[in-house]
Amino acid sequence: MNAILSQINYPEDLKKLSLNQLPQLAAEMRKFIIDVVATKEGHLGASLGVVELTIALHYVFNTPNDKLIWDVGHQAYGHKILTGRKDAFFTNRQLNGISGFPKIDESEYDAFGVGHSSTSISAILGMALAAQLKGETDRKHIAVIGDASIAAGMAFEGLNHAGDTNANVLIILNDNAIGIDPSVGALKSYLTEVKEGRNPKANNMIQALNFDYSGPIDGHDLPLVIAELKRLKKKTGPQFLHIVTTKGKGLKQAEENQIVYHAPGKFNKETGDLFPKIEENLPPKFQDVFGLTLLELARQNDKIVGITPAMPTGSSLKYMMEVFPERAIDVGIAEQHAVTLAAGMALDGLTVFCTIYSTFLQRAYDQIIHDVALQNIPVVFCVDRAGLVGEDGATHQGVFDIAFLNAIPNIRILSPKDAIELRNTLFTLQLKNTVPTFVRYPKGRSNQINWQLPFEKIDFNHVEKIKNGNEIAILTTGVICETVLNSIQKLANKDLFSLFHFIQIKPINKDFISEIIKNHKEIIIVEEGSIIGGFGSVVSQFIAKYHSNVKVTCFGIPDVFVEHGTVLEQMEICGISENKLIKFLSKY
């Protein structure tokens, strides 16, 4: 049997195939995705689940003239393979390689950038209405929304608007009952009843929003999917197709363990088995420090509750969920709801720890200001994946939170330097917390193996002197303190430099900065956050106002979106790696 995928580079090649050849193409695409991800890593299960849908969409519709949006974008590996990026797919998520998500400046076939979820319906409706205004009535507009993205508020805002128009939009629900973790909520129950035929058609909520609903159909039945798309292609107005798929389809282990195989790391491409990870005697991930510490505290303090928007495994809130399921809540992909839910619970006397990735916290900015800070409600926000995040790239970098939080009154921002300090920060906050507090910590492992020590209360206003020097003071916040210390220790002129760690970024300890300036002639600030508006910006403003004769140099994330690569590569690009810091400091 001759290979087919090797002949396919663009959808125009795909259209030359007969219907009978497409199942073979699907099998080859699955193998290709598995082979590459097995060695290069990346997202796996989501793209395996939509292989047939991907082929059908490009077979039936005239992309890129017909607009196609994938939501969330980690479903789009097959789409990339069929749209001119097959030969570059091995560079996926690597420095200078293709992005792990659709990206409009990467390909004309990527109609919209989709690294975060639930944006596709609004975006595709905007494109459809624009086409309508321009008289381009022959163009089709398709959004595939899956991996639990339909449950977010923005998706419903889009559905609500689209159903009140005559726009030619086709919304395809890829219903696989799981995001990264299993889907939650009443909507999941509703969709399950629809799939199982237990919900009367008269109760169809999508039809109630004025969509022409069809389905549910088997998303792996390629002839059926193609036939249904051809039928819908001839129709006008808002259409909604409900397809049912299996995340990880075609790889036994990925079907059976969908959480792990969402992004499994390296594995044996022949057997599908994960390569054993030797984690004995390794320091813990910061996420596990958070999750295990919160569970330990929750055993002692029955007022503690945890909240996460769809990330119980990634954030390690799963540890508390397993022991106290009624006190650890997954609200689904709903960051705005998570923040305001936390506010309501805290206002009624509970001690609320709401864990949200930094990049997703951006989605709830109004709720942080209006529902929490303005009312001075003492929620503790655990800001996971703060700083550079590596291969997920520009859509997921956690480098803006210091800057966007710094502008908000009434709040406190903390950035522990290591696992022990994070552990003690959580302990201190559950003893008594009177203001909205944000605790930042990075993706990845700590440097401390023995971190589960007896709790100690922290004075957040205290600035720790890590190293004594005689001329130049380096100010840091968070885990980059270790990188800076390592850099200084390798210098021939290391005695010149003092090193200070500020766990509290806001309110900043201005008196201590003035004390530092009395004993040093120059200040260098290093952070793993945006230079504009970040920690260095706050310190620089204070020094410019009260100590204008002191030279200040800031290192951090420059005014660009940092693309995908390893964290070390990104640090090098941003000038905050050991190599770059040593090169700069050695000039003194």
How many residues does the structure list for the chain? 588
Distance of CA 22 to the CA centre of its chain: 34
**Residue 419 vs residues 81, 214, 402, 449, 450: alpha-carbon distances, Å:** 41, 51, 20, 9, 9
Distance between CA atoms of residues 475 and 479, nearest Å: 12
Distance between CA atoms of residues 167 and 480, nearest Å: 50
Given 85, 103, 140, 247, the catalytic residue: 247
Could you confirm whether 440 is annotated as catalytic?
no
**Residue 81 vs residues 51, 66, 315, 512: alpha-carbon distances, Å:** 11, 18, 31, 56
- Residue 201 burial (10 A CB sphere; 0-12, 13-18, 19+): exposed
Three-state secondary structure of 20-62: HHHHHHHHHHHHHHHHHHHHHCCCCHHHHHCHHHHHHHHHHCC
Distance between CA atoms of residues 383 and 366, nearest Å: 16
Which two structure tokens, joined as six digits, stand for 192? 């399950």
Alpha carbon dihedral 495, 497, 498, 503, in 10-degree steps, equals -140
Distance between CA atoms of residues 425 and 456, nearest Å: 9
For the four alpha carbons of 90, 96, 102 and 104, in that order, the dihedral sign comes to: negative
Exposure b/e, 202-222, CB count within 10 A at least 16 = b: eebebeebbbebbbbeebbeb
Distance between CA atoms of residues 78 and 34, nearest Å: 11
Three-state secondary structure of 151-208: HCHHHHHHHHHHCCCCCCEEEEEEECCECCCECCCHHHHHHHHHHCCCCCHHHCHHHH
Decide if 219 contacts 53 (C-beta within 8 A). Answer: yes
Q: What is the DSSP string of 430-457?
A: HH---S-EEEE--SSB-S-S---PPP--
Could you confirm whether 247 is annotated as catalytic?
yes
Which two structure tokens, joined as six digits, stand for 489? 């220790």
Greatest CA separation found in the chain?
80
Could you confirm whether 527 is annotated as catalytic?
no
Decide if 478 contacts 527 (C-beta within 8 A). Answer: yes
Distance between CA atoms of residues 311 and 561, nearest Å: 24
Given 28, 228, 335, 421, the catalytic residue: 335
Given 86, 363, 423, 443, the catalytic residue: 363
Place of tokens 């480098």: 399
Q: What are phi and psi of 38, to 5 degrees?
A: -60, -35
Identify the helix (H) or strand (E) that includes residue 537. helix 535-546
Distance between CA atoms of residues 186 and 414, nearest Å: 36
Q: What is the DSSP string of 500-526?
A: EEESEEES--HHHHHHHHHT-SEEEEE
Tell me which residues are annotated as active site: 247, 335, 363
